[in-house]
């Protein structure tokens, strides 16, 4: 049996590896073209209500609710196809896959994402990310609240979480403490809107784009001495 890696990198997906804001813009344009401006606004209102209730984005769930007052519109089936067949590989940020490959030379790499159990895995598969991490993918309702399950699935001495939401990073840091290095990627609207003076603890590392991960060396990740020793011994 293979022993677990001393170091485990965890990557978020939306606005960390791929431009989910661009996807949302494309979806809005498609809804406008298919149903008109008023119905587009109704879909996004349903989406926002579900997001506030569930704590994660549920595009398919919003479409199911949207259908209630629009069931006679043939365009509904087109929206379903738009969502499930969307070319997410074209929305990967520059050098995102190269960043994953770089991290794989330093330790274990897995996806740790929030979302539903249909659309989010589909997105990860169609983007090419699933294959890039050899299927090491975890999708939870709220990843910061399921760290015990994450550690059972991905045991390691030290973790590095890479995410565009600093409040999520802070919540994870409060649980895992010095066993976790938090890396904040300033991409997407959540990152732009974050009030950094209210985030405690602050991220350990901050970069502007996911592509910059490929330029980081092991010491940059502030790995504890014992973990670095275990990595050196493994080499």
Give me the pLDDT at residue 35, please: 93
Same domain for 82 and 167, yes or no, is no
Same domain for 215 and 106, yes or no, is yes
Give me the pLDDT at residue 194, please: 82
pLDDT by residue for the chain (235 residues), tens only, comes to 456 778 999 999 999 999 999 999 999 999 999 999 999 999 999 999 999 999 899 999 999 999 987 777 778 999 999 999 999 999 999 999 999 999 999 999 999 999 999 999 999 999 999 999 999 999 999 999 999 999 999 999 999 999 999 999 999 999 999 999 999 999 988 888 888 888 999 999 999 999 999 999 999 998 877 776 666 666 5
Is residue 101 assigned to a domain?
Answer: yes
Is residue 174 assigned to a domain?
Answer: yes
Is residue 1 assigned to a domain?
Answer: no
Give me the pLDDT at residue 229, please: 67
Same domain for 66 and 150, yes or no, is no
How many Cβ atoms are within 10 Å of 144's Cβ, its own excluded?
A: 21
Same domain for 134 and 205, yes or no, is yes
Q: Please enumerate, as own/partner, the contacts of 29-33 that have beta carbons within 8 Å and a separation of 24 or more.
A: 30/78, 30/79, 30/82, 31/79
Give me the pLDDT at residue 235, please: 57
Give me the pLDDT at residue 1, please: 46
Same domain for 220 and 117, yes or no, is yes
Same domain for 77 and 157, yes or no, is no
Is residue 2 assigned to a domain?
Answer: no
Q: Examine the fold and report which residue of 69, 88, 107 is the final residue of a domain before the chain moves on.
A: 88
Same domain for 218 and 170, yes or no, is yes
Same domain for 105 and 49, yes or no, is no
Same domain for 124 and 40, yes or no, is no
Strands, DSSP E only, in the chain? 7-11, 108-114, 137-140, 158-163, 180-185, 205-207
- Number of domains present in the structure of the chain: 2
Kindly report the CATH number assigned to the domain that includes residue 168. Answer: 3.40.50.1000
Give me the pLDDT at residue 8, please: 97
Q: pTM for the whole thing? A: 0.93
Give me the pLDDT at residue 196, please: 86
Torsion of CA 27, 185, 53, 173, to 10 degrees: 160
Q: Which residues span the domain enclosing 138?
A: 7-19+92-234
Which residue, among 189, 129, 132, 139, has the nearest Cα to 164 in the 3D structure? 189
Same domain for 143 and 225, yes or no, is yes
- Helix%, strand%, coil% for the chain, nearest 5: 55, 15, 30
How many Cβ atoms are within 10 Å of 90's Cβ, its own excluded?
A: 12
């Amino acid at each position: 049996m293979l022993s677990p890696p001393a170091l485990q990198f965890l990557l978020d997906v939306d606005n960390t590896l791929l431009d989910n804001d661009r996807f949302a813009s494309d979806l809005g344009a498609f809804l406008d073209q298919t149903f008109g401006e008023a119905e587009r606004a109704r879909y996004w209102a349903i989406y926002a209500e579900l997001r506030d209730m569930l704590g994660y984005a549920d595009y398919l769930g919003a479409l199911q609710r949207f259908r209630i007052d629009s069931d006679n519109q043939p365009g509904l089936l087109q929206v379903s196809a738009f969502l499930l067949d969307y070319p997410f590989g074209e929305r990967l940020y520059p050098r995102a896959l190269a960043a994953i490959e770089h991290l794989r030379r330093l330790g274990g790499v897995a996806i740790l994402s929030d979302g539903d159990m249909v659309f989010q895995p589909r997105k990860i598969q169609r983007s090419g990310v699933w294959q890039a991490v050899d299927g090491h993918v975890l999708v939870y309702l709220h990843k910061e609240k399921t760290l015990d399950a994450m550690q059972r699935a991905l045991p390691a001495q030290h973790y590095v979480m890479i995410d565009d939401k600093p409040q999520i990073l802070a919540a994870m840091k409060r649980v895992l403490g010095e066993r976790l290095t938090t890396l904040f990627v300033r991409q997407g609207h959540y990152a732009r809107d974050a009030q950094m003076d209210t985030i405690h603890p602050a991220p350990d590392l901050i970069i502007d784009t996911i592509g910059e991960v490929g330029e980081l060396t092991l010491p940059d990740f502030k790995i504890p001495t014992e973990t670095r020793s275990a990595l050196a011994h493994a080499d």
